[in-house]
Structure 1
């Protein structure tokens, strides 16, 4: 039995419905709970279930955010970032009141729960919470205009997916124009379902692209190991080794060949970590071309065409788009439990 508790809200999950009823009865005897039935809405997350799988989105939350910011009637865009513009602390006029900016970025970060396509943009914007400028606010408004084109887009978890963990690891060397720290990005699939992703600036400066790639690879390995432990708690045993794809042949060579002393002396702990998991058969490294590196969209800005190419492979699903087999307008407004057609 799995219980997810947040303050006074509880989700109960188990394949056996009789056990769920038993737990709810015991809870009601102690706390007088209110049973809301099958999961439809929880902390801003909208859940639609059907035999094909589950879609988790934040459409209502996204629409409320657009309405609050006054962008319901704005012109939408096809990517959350501008390829030719890198944000800096020293550009633009400081905002008189940064409360609005902080509130907006906080809401966008929460929207990342189901929208990996805005992870890189929000990671960039969150670096300027202490002293934002009007250019940072304009960049945040572009993310809102991107959300407007598909506020109902979310994650799709297919019912018939296998239990093979597949991870993509990438980096952008020296991406920060002020500190020259690199950006780590990874996304991890359980079968065809995207279950974990991250876009984050590395804590230290890397002296080479191989070093930056290897730090990203070590972060991905740690996340894969944690997911294996988590799945074991649910009595789910994924197939191992987990496949990790990266586009750096030098990083793979460092992991598989322990004699690269000169290249690895700055990242010795990361080298031992990845090499240990590799030798134990927990992970297996594969080379992937840059064109097929899905996580590239979490490490740098892209033009709309390349952005769509990568995002379309992340397992996102727009429940309210008829072209994707979604709901009609009448169904949207007449049903509280949307399903996949």
Structure 2
């Protein structure tokens, strides 16, 4: 790795990861590498999606998967000091960004859920995960993504309560689909939404109890987009700069480190 050039994104925008291809020469070495990359995602949400895609093929990886893994290492080489930044704040609030990529898996056509949860302006939980079943519609996949995000927030609320840390409620989930939010809080189910009643009931219950509230957000401000798909370099860097991470080796400007952009500047869709 000493002689390779670093890259600015963990995955090439044009790369399509699937199960097809020639097998790798050293399966054990590939598994060890993926295990270390998974561990690295605990502090680096920016590589989570790329590692998630590779981890699906750890049983039978191809040479393309090895190339993608090697590119992630080249990306990490450029940002060795990148990690989450926990700010000192007076008021603790929970907020989350939730998104999905419908039928994105080329092998199974299952959708990909992505969410990132913040305590104040600091990211504390994030995930990129292929949904367990195939969704017949984008609406079905959307409610599954919202339900998974709501469950994660519920767990974090219980954790903060057990730790006796005061925090303000309700927690906010930002989502970029207006129709999904309307159906989720609608009291009447339609024929086309009966198959997703469980997820809708779960979300509605938490909204009615004041545990969470759903707010629409413009697609360009959806931070969870980085956890659901491969993005163009410009879009990736725009979102990555707002994630709440910090490079401790960044160059100093004027005697103090350049301040990272706060996610509080992201406003709801207008």
User: TM-score over 0.5 for the alignment?
Assistant: yes
Alignment match, 2:4 = 74
1:83 and 2:13 matched: yes
TM-fit CA distance, 1:250: 1.6
Partner secondary structure for residue 266 of structure 1: helix
Aligned partners of 2:105 and 2:205: how far apart in 1?
31
Aligned partners of 1:201 and 1:176: how far apart in 2?
8
TM-fit CA distance, 1:260: 3.0
The structure number with the bigger radius of gyration is 1
TM-fit CA distance, 1:79: 0.5
Aligned partners of 2:77 and 2:191: how far apart in 1?
50
Of 194, 204, 228 in structure 1, the residue corresponding to residue 123 of structure 2 is 194
TM-fit CA distance, 1:271: 1.1
Of 95, 115, 131 in structure 1, the residue corresponding to residue 44 of structure 2 is 115
User: Normalised by the size of structure 1, how large is the TM-score?
Assistant: 0.73
Detail structure 1 runs of 4+ shifted over 6 Å in the superposition. Answer: none
Comparing 161-170 and 286-295, the one that deviates more: 161-170
Partner secondary structure for residue 113 of structure 2: strand
Of 20, 30, 46 in structure 2, the residue corresponding to residue 101 of structure 1 is 30
TM-fit CA distance, 1:233: 1.1
1:183-332 map, 5 Å: 183-323=112-252, 325=256
Partner secondary structure for residue 157 of structure 1: coil
TM-fit CA distance, 1:160: 2.1
CA contact 1:161–1:192 (8 Å) conserved in 2: no
Q: Which has the higher contact order (CA 8 A, sep 6+)?
A: 2
Deviations 1:134-167 (A, max 9, x none): 1110010000000010111111101125211111
CA contact 2:189–2:197 (8 Å) conserved in 1: no
Alignment match, 2:264 = none
Of 166, 182, 186 in structure 1, the residue corresponding to residue 111 of structure 2 is 182
Deviations 1:272-317 (A, max 9, x none): 1101001001101000011000110000001211101001111110
Partner secondary structure for residue 33 of structure 2: helix
Aligned partners of 1:213 and 1:291: how far apart in 2?
18
Partner secondary structure for residue 236 of structure 1: coil
- Give the superposed CA RMSD: 1.4
User: Normalised by the size of structure 2, how large is the TM-score?
Assistant: 0.92
CA contact 1:78–1:304 (8 Å) conserved in 2: yes
CA contact 1:161–1:193 (8 Å) conserved in 2: no
Matched residue count: 256
Q: 1:217 to 1:176 in 2, by over 3 A?
A: same
Q: Which runs of 5+ in 1 are unaligned?
A: 1-70, 327-341
Partner secondary structure for residue 130 of structure 1: coil
TM-fit CA distance, 1:97: 2.4
CA contact 1:72–1:148 (8 Å) conserved in 2: no
